[in-house]
Homo-oligomer: A and B are copies of this chain.
């Protein structure tokens, strides 16, 4: 190997939840570790996520009186994934979810809000929100731990390709150091040697227009994304060129809680996801009627809105807005969330047939009173109340590309598998760059869980890679 200036035991590519979890575990297992991040800041899309973690059987659930089990979480994941999830991998995430959540609290010191939420497609309240409602809270603690452990995170270092031994074992990476996405010529090439293994944790490809649209041609430039522009398929493609098995690449998730009235993830989703979907309704402005279980999984809700053919209106009254206590001021200032004194005014503003809307609200309120949504099967939460306390808050909803379920195949040890389903020696992967765990649709808050669970597995195993492969 030429120009090898630096050698490590384990090279982790990507500095999101999965990469940092892998780096911590690998270092704690005694390996000399480096983390490579192509951008000038640490954390990738993880840092802009809303910091929601799903876990089954936690103390927080017990404290708030919610019963749950890993088996139930596993079944929810398989149901949302339309059954094509890799069962062993999905089960591993569910069974280790509480352990990973505890690890983030006990080992990293991550603080979570004292609340448990019920997001779409989950059977129960099992989602925890990091303090500040941002993934940056978790990333910050992971970075602190790595500093404490003496692990270097090298920024502006872009994976160009993998380096293999003559016998096919991944033994390093060729990178561009000093990478600048605005200037592809910037920086210099360098080869880094990995004595034990490389961990691929480079995230999804939601912003990679050519790659995502060849998998799902509907996702043209006209469809916005919640991802940052750096969420490309480049590293994934390198792994595929190495012979990694491509799994579920055409299953690309649209988030149903986004607004067409702002770019990217924006300020609307907290209102839609934590208030409307739980306590409110979504109506089609053309009919004034509900048309979907607002607490369905992301695919179910997004598909229903897309089928309407135009943005639909999420509506809640003041009760949950006050009770949940989220700060909606930015969303209100931007006009992404709006406020109306009564339903008539609301209907007029969106051109919704007012009588139909009033009827739809009355039917829904009847369901809330009965504790059962006979129209669409939405779970009526214990603290739900009829929509009758103005002002009414609204938001237009139109899905955006949020998450790519597909990626490279891995086994239960986070080893990347090849087209013959055999592990590629020296290569591990975790997080959104992998495929299989979520099948056709990932449930909300299961991504961070997966990143922590499989990031840790990848890091531990990478540190003892030669023994594992032997």
In the complex the two chains form, is B250's CB within 8 Å of A247's CB? yes
In the complex the two chains form, is A247's CB within 8 Å of B84's CB? no
With A84-B218, A217-B86 in contact, is A210–B421 under 8 Å at CB? yes
Chain B residues closer than 8 Å to A436, beta-carbon distance: 214
CA distance A248 to B217 in the complex (A): 11
CA distance A302 to B240 in the complex (A): 32
Contact with B along A66-98 (1 / 0, CB 8 A): 000000000000000001111100000000000
- Tell me the residues in window 222-252 of chain A with beta carbons closer than 8 Å to chain B beta carbons: 233, 237, 240-241, 243, 245-251
Chain B CB within 8 A of A320 CB = no
With A210-B421, A421-B214 in contact, is A84–B250 under 8 Å at CB? yes
Chain B residues closer than 8 Å to A419, beta-carbon distance: 211, 233, 237, 240-241
Chain B CB within 8 A of A215 CB = yes
CA distance A83 to B214 in the complex (A): 12
Chain B CB within 8 A of A52 CB = no
Chain B CB within 8 A of A152 CB = no
Main secondary structure of the interface of A (DSSP, over half): loop
Chain B residues closer than 8 Å to A215, beta-carbon distance: 84, 247-248
CA distance A76 to B241 in the complex (A): 35
Chain B residues closer than 8 Å to A251, beta-carbon distance: 250
Chain B residues closer than 8 Å to A256, beta-carbon distance: none
Contact with B along A400-425 (1 / 0, CB 8 A): 00000010010000000101110000
Chain B residues closer than 8 Å to A327, beta-carbon distance: none
Which residue of chain B is the closest to A86 with respect to CB atoms?
B217
Contact with B along A198-226 (1 / 0, CB 8 A): 00000000000011001111100000000
Chain B residues closer than 8 Å to A250, beta-carbon distance: 84, 247-251, 406
Chain B residues closer than 8 Å to A240, beta-carbon distance: 240, 243, 246, 419
- Size of the chain A interface, CB-CB below 8 angstroms: 31
CA distance A245 to B237 in the complex (A): 9
Which residue of chain B is the closest to A409 with respect to CB atoms?
B214
In the complex the two chains form, is B249's CB within 8 Å of A246's CB? yes
Chain B residues closer than 8 Å to A248, beta-carbon distance: 215, 250
In the complex the two chains form, is A84's CB within 8 Å of B210's CB? no
Chain B residues closer than 8 Å to A211, beta-carbon distance: 419, 421
- Tell me the residues in window 416-443 of chain A with beta carbons closer than 8 Å to chain B beta carbons: 417, 419-421, 436
- Tell me the residues in window 174-216 of chain A with beta carbons closer than 8 Å to chain B beta carbons: 210-211, 214-216
- Tell me the residues in window 297-323 of chain A with beta carbons closer than 8 Å to chain B beta carbons: none
Chain B residues closer than 8 Å to A247, beta-carbon distance: 214-215, 249-250
CB-defined A-B contacts under 8 Å, sample of 14:
A84-B216, A214-B409, A215-B247, A215-B248, A233-B419, A237-B419, A237-B420, A240-B243, A241-B419, A247-B249, A247-B250, A248-B250, A249-B249, A250-B251
Closest 5 CB pairs of A and B: A246-B246, A237-B419, A248-B250, A84-B216, A83-B218
Task: Other than A214-B421, A249-B250, give 14 A-B pairs with Cβ distance below 8 A.
Answer: A84-B215, A84-B217, A85-B217, A86-B214, A210-B421, A214-B247, A215-B247, A215-B248, A240-B246, A241-B243, A246-B246, A246-B249, A247-B249, A250-B251
